[in-house]
Amino acid sequence: MEYKKITAENKEDLLLPNEPFDLWGQLIVNRKNNVWSYEIERFKEIETMVFPNENYEFDQIHKKGFAMGAYHEEECIGLAIYENHWNKYLYLSDLKVKQAFRKRGVASQLIKEGLKHAQELGYSGLYTVGQDNNLTACLFYLKQGFEIGGFNTRDYDGTKQEGKADVYFYLK
């Protein structure tokens, strides 16, 4: 596996399509005495979801930050989009891996590569946001060493996704 920044020469790799994932539970986030904690609530029925495909443009990505690709035999099989942010944390705005390559450490390595570049740029670490009902993603970030640093229950008010919340994860 090879990991490298997306450049103008391989910018078509930014169009890696989204693939389905299961929604099987929810991260129930709590904060008491300035300490974050969580519980897991499993759904009675598993649903499958696919995010709409993004139409990333290299110039926009490059202006805001950078993208890392994971390559297997020169095929892009994973993508991480990083955006500069005003605070001391670089924002991981998107992370995806082709289904056939999931659970092989690809996403973990994309995060490690992003963290390395973030530190080279003077950031303290990374942050990302996960929907509380995407339990696989939330538990993945926690397993990677991210810590819960925020919880937003209002972003989806008045939308088709009303009732969901965003969990903010931070990694140093």
- In 3-state terms, what secondary structure has residue 30? strand
Measure Cα distances from 8 to 59, 71, 72, 111, 143 in Å. Answer: 8, 16, 19, 22, 33
User: pLDDT by residue for the chain (172 residues), tens digit each?
Assistant: 999 999 999 999 999 999 999 999 999 999 999 999 999 999 999 999 999 999 999 999 999 999 999 999 999 999 999 999 999 999 999 999 999 999 999 999 999 999 999 999 999 999 999 999 999 999 999 999 999 999 999 999 999 999 999 999 999 9
The CA-based dihedral angle spanning residues 10, 15, 16, 19, taken in that order and rounded to the nearest 10 degrees: 180
pLDDT at 159: 94
Domains assigned to the chain: 2-171 (3.40.630.30)
Q: Any bridge partners for residue 158, and if so which?
A: none
d(CA 119, CA 121): 5
Query: Contact at 8 Å (CB) between 91 and 149?
Result: no
H-run or E-run covering 171: strand 166-171
Q: Any bridge partners for residue 171, and if so which?
A: 126
